[in-house]
A and B are shown apart, each in its own frame.
Chain A
Amino acid sequence: MSIKGQAIWGFGAVAALAAVPLFLTQPYYLHTVIMILFYAFLASSWNIVGGFAGQLSLGHSAYAAIGGYTSTLLFIHTGLTPWVGMLVGGLIAAIIAVLVGMPTFRLRGAYYALATVAFAEGFRVILESTKHVGKWDTGGAEGLMVPLKGNMPSLMQFMGKAPYYYVILGMLVLVVLVSWYIDRSKLGYYLTALREDEEAAQALGSNTAIAKLQAAAISAFFTALGGTFYAQLVRFLEPPAIAGADLSSQMVLLAIVGGRGTVLGPVLGGVLLTTLGELTRAKLGGSLLGIHLILYGIGVMVAILYKPQGLIDPLMAGVRKLARVVNRSRAAAETGR
C-alpha cells in the first residue's frame, strides 16, 4: 500500500475511533473501551523491543511501574503535573532499560528474557518493601493513592471518562506512528537484520548491541507513559497490579497473538483479546479470577502452533484480497457500461 493509501486508511480509522465516546456514553462501557486501548498501547510499546528487535522482555511491567510511580510521587511531593512527570518517568525507564539490557544484549537467545524476569521480580519486591524514599512516602505493599484534585485537565485529572479515552487514543496513535516510523527507518532495518540473523548483521557492520539498546529504551519510554496514564485513570498504584508478572505477560501475549514485529499486529491483538477478556469477565462474573489470562495463554499457544506470524497476517491478506475484488468488480462494471 502506498504511503498516501496508508495515511487515508489510518486517518479514517482514527476518526472512527474518535467518534466512539459520542455513542458510548455509559461510564462502564467507556471504561472498558479505555482499557482495551490501554492494553493495545502497552502491547505496541512492548513490540518495539520484543517484536521489532526480537528481544523477548518478560518484565515490562517494571517500566509501567517506574512511569506510574515517578509521575505520581512527583505530583504528590512537588506538585509537578503528570503531563511532565510522565516524560520524566519515561526517561528514567529508558535509562533503566539500557542498564538492564547492557549485560545481555551482547549475548543471544534467552539471556535477555531471563534478565528481564529477574529485574522485574526484584523491582516488585523493592516497591512492596519500601515505604519511604528519602522523605517521600511510597506506600509500600499497601499501595499509593493518587490524590484527586477535581476536574483539572492541566493535571491529567478528569471527572468524566471521555477525556481519558481521548488521551489514551492519542497515546496509541503516537506509539503506532513511532512504530511505523521505526519500521521504515534505518534502525528498523538494523533490527530486522539482527532479528533474522544476528551474525550476518554483525558481519555487515551493523552494531547490533546498540540497535537493541535503542529499541529497548524507546519501548521502555512508552511503557512508562502507559504507567502514568494508568495511575491517573485508576488513581491507585499497587505493586502486584502495576509491577507484577501478570501485566508483563499480558503485553507479551497480546502482541504475539496479534503479530509481533508488525506495526499494527499488537494493536489488533490488544483490541481482540482484551475485548474477549472483558466480555468473558462480564458474562462469567468476577468470581472467576484470571479467566482472561487463561484465554490469552491458550490464544498464544494456538497462535504459535497455527499462525506463528500472528493474526495480522491473514487479516491483511484478507483486506488486500477484498480490495482486489472491489477493484475488479468496479473495473468490470465500467467496461460493461
Chain B
Amino acid sequence: MGLTNAVVNGILMGSVYALIALGLTLIFGIMKVVNFAHGALLMIAMYAAYFTWLLTKANPYLALVVVAPLMFAIGYLLQRYLIRPVFKAEADTREPISALLLTAGLMVTLENAALLVFGGDYLTAKTSMTGVTYHLGSVSVSAARLYAFLITFAAGGVFHLFLKHTETGRAMRAVGQDRSASSLMGINVYKIYDIAFGAGVALLGVAGVVLIPFYYAQPSVGQIFGTRAFITVVLGGLGSVPGALVGGLLIGVVESVAAQFMEATWTQVLINYGFLVFLFIKPSGLFGSPYDS
C-alpha cells in the first residue's frame, strides 16, 4: 500500500472521527459539558444500526431513518431528565463538573449494561458490499469506507445548514456564545440544551450506521472512538466546528500513514501521547479561542 493510498484511506476514516467529534464539540460548545458518555452512546448507536439491519436485512444505510431519530430521542431524554437537574443546581458555574461526572457514570453503566445484554461478541453487518473495493490508479478503497465518507459529509453539510439557517440553529449558537444574554433575548436555554444534546447524539447515530458495515459493535468499542473524539476536539479547539472537522481528518491521516511504519497498536500510543505533547504546546487547539483554556 503506497503513501497516497494511506492518505486517502486515512481521510475516509478521519471523516468518521470528525463526525463523532462534531457531536462532542457541539455539546461542549453550547453546554460547556464534556460528554464522557459520548463513546458509549456511539456503541449504543452501532448496536441499534446492527439490529435494525439484522431484522430488516435491508441496505444497512437505510437504518439511518431509524437510528438517527432514535439516538436524537435518547440524547434529548438523557439531557432533559438526567443532566438538566444537575445543570440547574450549578447554573452559575462556568464549567459544571457534576454534569461531567454524571456522564462518566452513564458511560460505565451503558458499557456494562451492553455487556450484560449483548454479551462480548463482535457484531458486524456482513452484506454483499463487504470486501468490495474500488480502484483508481494506485489507490484502492473499500466500498463501505467510501460510503461512510460520503454519508458523513452529507450529514455534516445538513448539520451546518441547520446551525446557520434555522431559527433553532441560530438560538443554539447564541446560547453557546452567551447563556445569560440569550436567555434575556427570550431563548429558552434549557430547551436549547435538550435539542443540542439530542442533535449531538443523533450525529452519533449517523456515525454508528456508517461504521457497522466495516467495523464491529462490541461493548467497549466506544472507548476507542470516545478517546479519539476527545483528542480530536481538543486538537481542533474545544467547541469549534471546523476544528472538529480538521482534527478528525488529521488524526485519520496520521493513524493511517503511521500504520505504514509501525504496528497498528502503536499508532494508538503515538496519537495519545502526541496529543499530550500538543496539549503542552497549544492547549487552545488549532481553531479554539484562547479564552476557553
**Known contacts A110-B34, A117-B227, A118-B272: A56-B97 contact under CB 8 Å:** yes
Residues of A232-270 contacting chain B, CB below 8 A: 245-246, 249, 252-253, 256
Which of B105, B266, B273 interacts with A298 by CB under 8 Å? Answer: B105
Contact of B268 among A110, A125, A252, A308 (CB under 8 A): A125
Which residues of the other chain, B, contact A246 by a CB distance below 8 angstroms? 108
Whether A256 pairs with B263 at a CB distance below 8 angstroms is no
Residue of A nearest to B277 (CB): A103
- A128 in the interface (beta carbon within 8 A): yes
| Number of A-B contacts defined by CB within 8 Å | 143
Contact B227 A121, beta carbon cutoff 8 Å:
yes
Chain B residues with Cβ below 8 Å from A252 are 101, 104
The closest CB in chain B to the CB of A104 belongs to B279
A113 to B111, CA, bound (A): 19
Number of interface residues of B (CB under 8 A): 49
- Residue from B86, B89, B94, B275 whose CB has the most chain A CB atoms within 10 Å: B275
Query: Is B113 located at the chain interface by the 8 A CB criterion?
Result: yes
**At the interface, yes or no: B181 with Cβ under 8 Å from chain A?**
no
For residue B115, CB closer than 8 A to chain A, the reply is yes
Is the Cβ of A125 less than 8 Å from the Cβ of B269?
yes
Within the assembled complex, what's the spacing in Å between the Cα atoms of A290 and B119?
A: 11
Q: Quick one: given A253-B105, A308-B98, are A297 and B293 in contact (CB under 8 Å)?
A: no
Bound-complex Cα distance A114 to B39 (A): 13
A250: min CB distance to chain B, Å: 8
> In the complex the two chains form, what is the Cα distance from A128 to B266 in whole Å?
10
Any chain A CB within 8 A of the CB of B54? no
Does A83 count as interface, using CB distance less than 8 angstroms? no
The answer for the CA separation of A132 and B98 in the assembled complex, in Å, is 42
Asked if B208 lies at the interface with its beta carbon under 8 angstroms from chain A, I say no
Q: How large is the interface on A (under 10, 10 to 19, 20 to 34, 35 or more residues)?
A: 35 or more
Cβ–Cβ < 8 Å partners of A296 in chain B: 105, 108
Cα-based distance from A308 to B101 in the complex (angstroms): 10
* Contacting pair B97 A100 (CB below 8 A): no
Q: Does A276 contact B (CB under 8 A)?
A: no
Chain A residues whose C-beta falls within 8 Å of the C-beta of B157 in the assembled complex: none
Is B91 interfacial (CB-CB < 8 Å)? no
**Are B112 and A245 interface neighbours, CB within 8 A?**
no
The reply on B100 being an interface residue by CB < 8 A is: yes
Q: Which residues of A contact B275 (CB under 8 A)?
A: 115, 118
Do B34 and A107 touch (CB < 8 A)?
no
Interface residues of B in 68-114 (CB under 8 A from A): 82, 85-86, 89, 94-95, 97-98, 100-102, 104-113
A residues near B28, Cβ cutoff 8 Å: 110
A119 touches B283 (CB 8 A): no
Other-chain contact of B100, A113, A117, A293 (Cβ < 8 Å): A113
Provided the pairs A125-B268, A305-B85 are in contact, do residues A56 and B101 lie with their beta carbons within 8 angstroms?
yes
Chain A residue numbers with a CB within 8 Å of B102 are 300-301, 304-305
Q: Which chain A residues border B61 with CB–CB below 8 Å? A: none
For residue A108, CB closer than 8 A to chain B, the reply is yes
A114 to B285, CA, bound (A): 13
- Within the complex, what minimum Cβ distance (angstroms) separates A283 from chain B? 15
Q: Which A residues have a C-beta under 8 Å from some C-beta of B?
A: 54, 56, 58, 100, 102-104, 106-111, 113-115, 117-119, 121-122, 125-126, 128-129, 245-246, 249, 252-253, 256, 288-291, 293-294, 296-301, 304-305, 308
6 closest Cβ pairs, A-B complex = A297-B109, A300-B105, A122-B272, A290-B112, A103-B280, A297-B108
Give 18 new A-B contacts, CB below 8 A, not counting A110-B100, A113-B34, A300-B105: A56-B97, A56-B104, A58-B104, A103-B276, A110-B34, A114-B34, A118-B230, A119-B272, A121-B223, A129-B263, A256-B105, A288-B116, A290-B115, A294-B108, A300-B101, A301-B105, A304-B86, A308-B86
Chain B residues in the interface with A (C-beta under 8 A): 28, 32, 34, 36, 82, 85-86, 89, 94-95, 97-98, 100-102, 104-113, 115-116, 120, 220, 223, 227, 230-231, 234, 238, 263, 265-266, 268-269, 272-273, 275-277, 279-280, 283, 293
Q: Could you list some 29 contacts between A and B, CB below 8 A?
A: A54-B97, A103-B280, A103-B283, A107-B293, A108-B293, A109-B34, A109-B97, A110-B238, A111-B279, A111-B293, A113-B34, A114-B230, A119-B272, A125-B268, A125-B269, A125-B272, A129-B269, A249-B107, A290-B112, A290-B116, A293-B112, A296-B108, A297-B108, A297-B110, A300-B105, A301-B102, A304-B101, A304-B102, A305-B82
